[in-house]
Amino acid sequence: MALDFPTSPTDGQTYNQYIYVSATGTWELSRPSSDTTPVNAVVSGASVSPSYDGTAAVYSFTSSGNIIIESAGYADILLIGGGGSGGRLYGGGGGAGGYVYVENFYLSEGSHTVTVGSGGVAPATNAGGNNGASSSIGSVLVAHGGGGGGGADNVEQKGLRGGSGGGGNIDYSGGPALTGQGNDGGPGNRTGSLNGGGGGGAGAIGGTPPSGVGGAGGDGLSSSITGSVVTRAGGGGGGSSATAGAGGAGGGGAGTVSGTAGSGTANTGSGGGGAYSGAATAGDGGSGIVIVRIGGDGGS
């Protein structure tokens, strides 16, 4: 698919990532010639119209699709897996999806499958939460789903392992995080009340419940890959019989005492909140995201 350059351009006219130079009669990349990033990408899938900041094209995948690289080179990529759901009955908060950021990643010429992980679905019965699904580009870059929060099905449960781990319920530990992708979930605690632990976030471990309060979700991480600073991948708050835990910064859902816990914000990979009461409803995990930045200096 070739770029459809305007006809009869004038000197200095811009199009996509190019600028017209009348002295040579050619369209040239409007970025340093030493930059070896791909010069053109064809993208398919939902919500992937690029944004531009003068030197870079940024493609934000909020659902699965494909990216076709017409000229091999380097890109900055952020992947976040789907967040885990909270657990129900003394429930811990769900862990955030795995957070993977790489600079100058080589993308070969051709089509690459982009998968955006869905969030874990809250349990319909008194049980532990469900893990989120992984996000990926091809088979090399993978951000795993967050761990579900611990819940009860006649027995207490630990938080599940994931990109970030889910919070444990009552006396049980939080789930461990996958190395390099997030943080552990917090343990449960029955001191003062029955409290679930907070789900781990990309930037911090899940909170251990203080007396009478569910564990807070771990905070997420901020990135400027899109040109604006955005925090994503917060852990879900734990449920409590007294005061439920808050969701972590970046989209984590708050826990609940007897109502409906907060769900992780869509396309942040954040965890859902845990539910204390068996009559309450735990929160779903938020779906993940994949962001590809082609050109420019990138964003941490």
**DSSP character string of 125-171:** SSS---PPPPEEETTTEEEPPPPPPP--SSS--PPPPBSSPPPPBTT
pLDDT at 27 over 80: no
Same domain, 118 and 25: no
Same domain, 229 and 299: yes
Per-residue pLDDT band for 109 (boundaries 50, 70, 90) equals confident
Per-residue pLDDT band for 291 (boundaries 50, 70, 90) equals very high
Same domain, 254 and 217: yes
Separation of alpha carbons 143 and 237, rounded Å: 22
Per-residue pLDDT band for 190 (boundaries 50, 70, 90) equals confident
Q: What is the pLDDT of residue 116?
A: 97
Q: What is the pLDDT of residue 35?
A: 52
Q: What is the pTM of this model?
A: 0.85
Domain count, the chain: 2
Per-residue pLDDT band for 290 (boundaries 50, 70, 90) equals very high
Q: What is the pLDDT of residue 2?
A: 41
The count of other CB atoms within 10 Å of the CB of residue 136 is: 23
Q: What is the pLDDT of residue 157?
A: 82
pLDDT at 1 over 70: no
Separation of alpha carbons 218 and 202, rounded Å: 7
Separation of alpha carbons 202 and 14, rounded Å: 39
Closest by Cα among 2, 33, 3, 32 to 15? 3
Domain of 19, in residue numbers = 1-30
Same domain, 130 and 22: no
Same domain, 117 and 210: yes
Same domain, 105 and 43: yes
Same domain, 7 and 61: no
User: What's the token pair of residue 95?
Assistant: 């862990």
Same domain, 25 and 147: no
Same domain, 116 and 253: yes
pLDDT digits (tens, 9 = 90+) for 137-188: 988 899 999 999 999 875 668 899 999 999 999 889 999 999 899 999 999 9
Separation of alpha carbons 241 and 192, rounded Å: 9
The highest-confidence range among 22-26, 54-58, 93-97, 148-152, by mean pLDDT, is 93-97
With a pLDDT cut of 90, the percent of the chain lying above it is 61
Q: What is the pLDDT of residue 154?
A: 54
Contact yes or no for 206/221 (Cβ under 8 A): no
Same domain, 46 and 102: yes
pLDDT at 47 over 70: no
Strand partners, 19: 14, 28
Same domain, 90 and 17: no
b/e sequence 162-183, b meaning 16+ C-beta within 10 Å: bbbbbbbbbebbbbbbbeebbb
Secondary structure (3-state) at 189: strand
Given the DSSP bridges, would you call strands 18-21 and 14-15 parallel, antiparallel or unpaired?
Answer: antiparallel
Q: What is the pLDDT of residue 25?
A: 67
With a pLDDT cut of 70, the percent of the chain lying above it is 84
Q: What is the pLDDT of residue 124?
A: 94
- Average pLDDT in the 34-51 region? 62
pLDDT at 33 over 60: no
DSSP letter assigned to residue 256? B
Separation of alpha carbons 277 and 275, rounded Å: 6
Instruction: Look at 26-40, 170-184, 258-272 and tell me which has the smallest mean pLDDT.
Output: 26-40
Same domain, 17 and 41: no
pLDDT at 214 over 60: yes
Report the run of H or E that residue 41 belongs to, with start and end: strand 41-45
